[in-house]
Amino acid sequence: MNNGYYQNPVFPGVGLNNNTIPNQQSVPSYEQSQTTVNPITSEQSYIENILRLNRGKKAKFHVTVPGSEKWQDRVFEGIVEQSGRDHIIVSNPTTGEWYLILMIYLDFVTFDESINFIKDFT
């Protein structure tokens, strides 16, 4: 091999002691544009967004955990607190418990009242 010697790579424009070498062409910097978060549009009518529109409402979350004998089919009841791309946070005011439910296990959600959602999917 190389007798146990480890060679650090040297990149163009950088000296051995990490000082920039003068008169070398450097990589141009690009301005980053600021992005703003748009309100939910019809193209973004995913479960997580529908749940976000219904924060504070009581719901039942029906989940299936494959490979689990004890928790295979379970219903969590509580208030929609938060929703993310891969999870839902639910609080149960009756028991004081909080649940972090993974979306991958979610089958469906039922509400006792009408839900908020985006009606125009065009």
Domain boundaries, the chain: 42-111
The residue ranges of DSSP E strands in the chain, in sequence order, are 58-64, 73-83, 87-91, 98-102, 106-111
Q: Residue 82: count other Cβ atoms within 10 Å of its Cβ.
A: 14
Residue with tokens 């908020």: 116
Helix H or strand E segment including 20: none
What three-state secondary structure class fits 13?
Answer: coil
Q: Look at residue 52 in the predicted model and tell me its pLDDT.
A: 96
Q: Look at residue 122 in the predicted model and tell me its pLDDT.
A: 53
Structure tokens at 13: 């424009």
pTM of the predicted model as reported, rounded to 2 decimal places: 0.62
Give pLDDT tens digits along the chain (122 positions): 556 655 555 555 555 555 555 555 555 555 555 555 455 554 566 899 999 999 999 999 999 999 988 888 999 999 999 999 999 999 999 999 999 999 999 999 999 999 998 876 55
Q: Look at residue 33 in the predicted model and tell me its pLDDT.
A: 52
CB 90 within 8 A of CB 98: yes
Q: Look at residue 71 in the predicted model and tell me its pLDDT.
A: 81
Please tell us whether the domain made up of 42-111 is placed in CATH 2.30.30.100.
yes
Q: Look at residue 99 in the predicted model and tell me its pLDDT.
A: 98
Structure tokens at 60: 């039942």
